[in-house]
Structure 1
Amino acid sequence: MRQRTTGVVVLVDSELVAMGFVVALSTRRHLHVAAVAHTASDALRAIVRFDPEMVLLDSAMAGAIERLARAPVWRARLLLLGRNAHLGVAPGADGNLACGFISWSARRRHYLPLVDEVSACAQRQASPDSAQCSACAARRTLAPPPLDLTGREREVFVLIGRGLRTADIATELGLSAKTVEAHRETIKYKLGMDSVRELNAVAASWCRGEIVDAALPPIRGSLRRREEP
């Protein structure tokens, strides 16, 4: 039986990156790239015109498209694209509506199986309440990599990365400032950091998706070298 063709649009601000994805997708006969767009306005027109079944979307562009549309715009299976190693904790598009994440630096042999799985899905789009979505391997790529921290320590780490001060973190989590400071010290110890400045810089980078747990040691070293006189 002939495999059903899936219509795809690629929405990325970089023409070079978009070309790379289009070439990779052309190796899959069941995929048809209906349009490529590099700006939010062109992306919105492509979505409205082609009503694609799957969208490869630059996560940084997603918010601009939603603001331009002024209405729910996603009626497709979304694969978020990003410049960084992982999606981080503040994606441009609602992670509940996305099927997975692909880094710009990922090799096609790693991400094409993910594209195949999402294109073969029978659902129109991802749903946070769907058991099928919860079990999907593609959806696990939306989660940032784990850190060697407890749940509460991770919450503090993320809020540090978002630029919140101790008092603000205490209010956000319903803790005392003293408890937040204690968590800061524990996090510094567990991740091998020597200063508050270093912790703030690494947490911010991790939240943006720029680094993963395995990359923390060399990044800490480079930060220390920059701090030396």
Structure 2
Amino acid sequence: MIFAKAAPYRIRLMLVDDHPLVRDGLRARLGAVEQIDVVGEAGSGEQTLQMAEQLLPDLMLVDIGMKDMNGICLTELLLARLPSIRVLILSMYDNAEYVISAMHAGAKGYVLKDAGSHEIIAAINAVAAGGTFYSAAVADVLLAQPFPEYSLTEREREVLILLAKGLSNKAIAQQLEISVRTVETHRLSIRRKLGIDSAAGLVKYALEQRWLN
């Protein structure tokens, strides 16, 4: 599922996978896409952290199953050091634990390795543009763990949907023509009503309610 506007004209992409053949295939396919520049690749967590600080890519395409450091821990470390970078997980694992953990870590999307190249490219465009992207199978995993029903106001529902799409408080305030403080108040109310205080939880709830297309 895709929630985003058009991607920036050029996307500086870094590939992270501990299998050289996988990186070769991704570099060959993605490097042929006009708006994508593959600026670097790494085969381990430590190498990724060093290179990311030098290259400052817009987006990292990160595998979960690496030998020295899993992609979820790597995502947390990357975003702690370089919060402006956006992370898209590309993984063979589709279980709920991995998906939700990746979202908690700050990843903005999760695509399965058996997806077609068109889906991976769509995910890169969506995440680079400031949105989120989850493969249909991943969305199904999230929907399989429904939240209980609670009553939100119409404005709270609007705010929740925009939060689930990855918008900041300031962006939501501008779109809804309300103050940032009002957005923060709505977020607090949503958290109190639903017991949800993470991007992963908000996306899962919005998907379950069929509020995201």
> Please, what TM-score do these two structures have when normalized by structure 1?
0.49
Give unmatched runs, 5+ long, in structure 2: 1-7, 149-213
Aligned to 1:115: 124
Does structure 1 residue 59 correspond to structure 2 residue 59?
no
Describe how 1:15-164 pairs up with structure 2 within 5 A.
15-60=20-65, 61-65=70-74, 71-84=80-93, 86=94, 88-91=96-99, 93-95=102-104, 97-119=106-128, 121=129, 123=130, 133=131, 136=132, 138-139=133-134, 143-145=139-141, 146-147=143-144, 151=147
Deviation for aligned residue 1:118: 2.4
Contact in 2 for aligned 1:53/1:77 (Cα 8 Å): yes
- For 1:75, what is the secondary structure of its paired residue? coil
Q: What CA distance in whole angstroms lies between the structure 2 residues aligned with 1:21 and 1:93?
A: 21
Q: What CA distance in whole angstroms lies between the structure 1 residues aligned with 2:106 and 2:28?
A: 26
Superimposed CA distance per residue, residues 64-97 of structure 1 (whole angstroms, 9 cap, x where no aligned partner): 536877954443121101122x252235644462
Q: 1:70 to 1:43 in 2, by over 3 A?
A: same
Count of residue correspondences: 134
Q: 1:49 to 1:83 in 2, by over 3 A?
A: same
Q: 1:151 to 1:5 in 2, by over 3 A?
A: closer
- For 1:81, what is the secondary structure of its paired residue? strand
- For 1:89, what is the secondary structure of its paired residue? helix
Q: What CA distance in whole angstroms lies between the structure 1 residues aligned with 2:125 and 2:78?
A: 29
Deviation for aligned residue 1:24: 1.9
Larger radius of gyration: 1
Deviation for aligned residue 1:38: 0.5
Deviation for aligned residue 1:11: 0.8
Q: What CA distance in whole angstroms lies between the structure 2 residues aligned with 1:56 and 1:87?
A: 19
Superimposed CA distance per residue, residues 128-150 of structure 1 (whole angstroms, 9 cap, x where no aligned partner): xxxxx4xx5x1576645233x76
Question: Match of 2:124, as an amino acid?
Answer: V
Contact in 1 for aligned 2:12/2:37 (Cα 8 Å): yes
What's the RMSD between the two structures over aligned residues? 3.1
Contact in 2 for aligned 1:88/1:144 (Cα 8 Å): no
Give unmatched runs, 5+ long, in structure 1: 124-132, 153-229
Give identity over the alignment, percent: 16
- For 1:13, what is the secondary structure of its paired residue? coil
Q: 1:53 to 1:27 in 2, by over 3 A?
A: same
Please, which of 14, 17, 28 is the counterpart of residue 12 of structure 1? 17
